[in-house]
Structure 1
Amino acid sequence: MSQPTVSRALRDDPRVSAETKRRVRDAANLLGYVPSDAGRALSSGRTRRIGLLLTDLSNHFYSHIISPIHRELESQGYQLMLHAEDADTELVAERLIGNGLDGVILATTTVDSVVPLRLRDRRLPFIYFNRTASVVDADATVVSATRGFEEAVRRAADLGHRRIGAVLGPENTSTAASREVALRAALAGHGLALVPELVRRGPFDTAAGDAATTSLLSLAEPPTAIFCGNDVIAYGTLNAARRLGVEVPGDLSVIGFDGLPAAGWEIIDLSTIAYDLAEMAAEAARLIVHRVENQDAPLVRTEFDTRFVQRHTLAAPR
């Protein structure tokens, strides 16, 4: 057989008959032949590898997106390559560009990141997951926080909460900014506001939630409810309340954001603003494949709506 026929048979090309494919595969098995990804890349100009950039691998949130992204990419014939870095810098951009990737999913982008600029300049396709940067417009999968906060604030107000606190994420992230805007708007709809003394900011991690809540609960008039920038921060809030002997709910109500699986465990039972995180991750995989294969296509921004899930940690204040 000719080399092109063998190549098509190994790629399961529909132009090759089933009998020819069987004969080629039998011969390949007999010879112990394994297709070379490097050889395919040289021939096609593509590696079929997609990078996922994470600069906060220890955060529980990101462990829930790797599997759905991997499954979706694999179903389309692509490999997921995880790039875990300590920072979002120029050096990271050069590593991504130099690693022979067809495209990149940026999952921990800050608003002032240089990575989108460098990827754009080198024409390496990329999309934003969850967080976006204003310096470069690109395909994105993001969360619309409005509805979830409206439902959560309505429930908290109906229960009688008036002194509302918040532990928000870092100011250089689009997610922290959009969630703060949605929370303030929802509170204003009920004649409530976030007063500066009841607002804390920090990283999206448990330690930040613990430290911020410890500070808020030391006030002469602490909040009766705390809205957290994400579920991971809320876990720290619950830890601080337990350590300080503050009863949740009753003395303090706690509301998270993201709807992570652990938030529903009976030992945590966290009230939270949730959305379909797995589908959002799968959509990110579909978007980057579409961008790789259609680089001149119009940009796509997919928004995932939120809903409030009430559990044990929200009740009327004492």
Structure 2
Amino acid sequence: MGITSHDVARLAGVSQPTVSRALRDDPRVSMATREKVKRAAQALNYVPSEAGRTLSTRATRRVGVIVTDLTNPFYPHVIAPLHDELSSLGYRMMLITERSDEAVAEEKLLDQSMDGVVLATATTDSRLPAQLERRGMPYVFLNRDTGRAGDFASVVDNEGGGRLVARELVALGHRRIAGVFGAANTTTGREREMGFRLALAEAGVGLPEDRVVRGAFEYDTGYRALPVLLDAAEAPTAVFCGNDVVAIGVLNAALAAGVKVPDDLTVIGFDDLPMAAWEVFRLTTVRHDLQELSRQAARLLVRRIAKEVDPAGERLVLPTEFVPRATHAHAR
């Protein structure tokens, strides 16, 4: 007969349930006890049975994370802390990548092989959240949600960030202002544009449609947008971009067109990815805590799995701050 968790429990001087919790790094077990149990398991060459654990608890301790845009540099910076936080809570993360939420095969999520799901690239028109609700699968939104009441989400104060940028540009004397915003079916795109527009309107500054471009949060969106904006009846002196990746596309297009940043054109991004601070960019942007965005999503999902949340929903919103670097200047 093989070594069991009961044998490990006897050697470590703890109960069998404590062994199970300690070996999955449950934070409810002290670090000293976890180390003692792991030493006992190692001494006995004990390997936990994941299948047995699943049958006994009806939980897999696995969480799926759906990302449909792995080419975007934003996502590695939120996936890594999400993985670490889930691990600290005793869960394994499984990354699911498809071109769209609709392309995610239902059997990957709804065959009871996971305890919950993080939706990292949701759109407002996705049918996936409703499918998960019907199957009773706990899920949370990370970064983007549906914008409707009842969401469980970890998001950023996108509208507030947009307002910060608009007020800064107005204070710098800019009046011919443009925006390269995210897609209309994303809450990040809508909310950042809305905050930006509202603050400009409060200052009496217009944002005509010929100085607005919307698209995916990608480098190409920014690179292709700038020539269009420069051809407008009145070329802008400042451009607010939906995220840092789009802003970098605008910076490169400006270099190609011989437009000097920030002398001829102010460019401002959003997110403050680590690359935004590189000397080659020194991008002025809007910062929020990328790691905490992920950590609080992980904690929220685990609480939802444990049914420790208000069924009416919970939307956790992180604050933003303006980060001045080298791509903004007074209007000339």
Quick check: TM above 0.5? yes
- Per-residue deviation, residues 157-214 of structure 1 (Å, max 9, x unmatched): 1221100001011111111111111010010121112101000111100011100112
> Residues of 2 paired with 1:126 and 1:22: CA distance?
34
Match for residue 327 of structure 2? 313
Distance apart, 1:3 and its partner CA: 6.4
What residue is the counterpart of 1:89 in the other structure?
102
Letter in 2 for 1:77: G
CA distance in 2, matches of 1:70, 1:175: 23
Tell me which of 165, 169, 188 is aligned to 2:182: 169
Which residue is 2:12 aligned to? none
Shift, 1:9, TM fit: 5.3
Q: Which amino acid letter does the alignment assign opposite residue 39 of structure 1?
A: G
- Structure 1 pair 47–2 and aligned structure 2 pair: CA distance change class (3 A): closer
Q: How does 1:8-157 map to 2 (within 5 A)?
A: 8=17, 10-11=19-20, 26=40, 28-89=41-102, 91-98=104-111, 100-133=113-146, 137-157=150-170
Tell me the TM-score normalized by structure 1.
0.91
Q: Report the counterpart of residue 232 of structure 1 in structure 2.
A: 245
Contact persistence 2:5–2:48 (CA under 8 A) = no
1:73-117: CA deviation from partner (whole Å, max 9, x where unpaired): 111111111111111116434422136110001010111101101
1:317 CA drift (Å): 2.5
Summarize the Cα distance change of 1:294–1:214 in structure 2 as closer, same or farther, 3 Å threshold.
same
Hey, what's the Cα distance between the residues in 2 that align with 1:135 and 1:50?
A: 24
Unaligned runs of 5+ in 1: none
Going from structure 1 to structure 2, the CA distance change for 1:270 and 1:138 (only over 3 Å counts) comes to same
Identical columns (%): 44
Are the counterparts in 2 of residues 92 and 115 from structure 1 also a CA contact under 8 Å? no
What is the rounded CA distance, in whole Å, between the counterparts of 1:187 and 1:284 in structure 2?
A: 32
Q: Which residue of the partner structure matches residue 193 of structure 1?
A: 206
Equivalences for residues 203-242 of structure 1 within 5 A: 203-242=216-255
Q: Which amino acid aligns with 2:205?
A: L
Q: What SS does the corresponding residue of 1:50 show, helix, strand or coil?
A: strand
Secondary structure class of the residue paired with 1:301: strand
Distance 2:110 2:149 in 1: 17
Worse-matched range after superposition: 189-198 or 2-11 = 2-11
Q: 2:306 matched to 1:293?
A: yes
Q: Deviations over 1:128-156 (max 9, x none)?
A: 11111257833111111333333322221
Aligned-residue Cα RMSD (Å) equals 2.5
* Aligned counterpart in structure 2 of residue 304 of structure 1, from 305, 318, 330: 318
Distance (Å, rounded) in 1 between the aligned partners of 2:73 and 2:36: 45
User: In the alignment, is the contact (CA less than 8 A) between 2:244 and 2:273 conserved in 1?
Assistant: yes
CA distance in 1, matches of 2:325, 2:99: 35
AA at the equivalent of 2:186: T
Q: Distance in 1 between matches of 2:38 and 2:290?
A: 42
Which residues of structure 2 form unaligned runs of 5+?
10-15, 23-27
What's the CA shift for 1:118? 0.6
Q: Does the CA-based 8 Å contact 1:110-1:131 persist in structure 2?
A: yes
Q: What is the TM-score when the length of structure 2 is the normalising length?
A: 0.87
> Which range moved further: 34-43 or 182-191?
34-43
Q: Secondary structure at the match of 1:98?
A: coil
SS in 2 for 1:89: helix
Q: CA deviation at 1:72?
A: 1.0
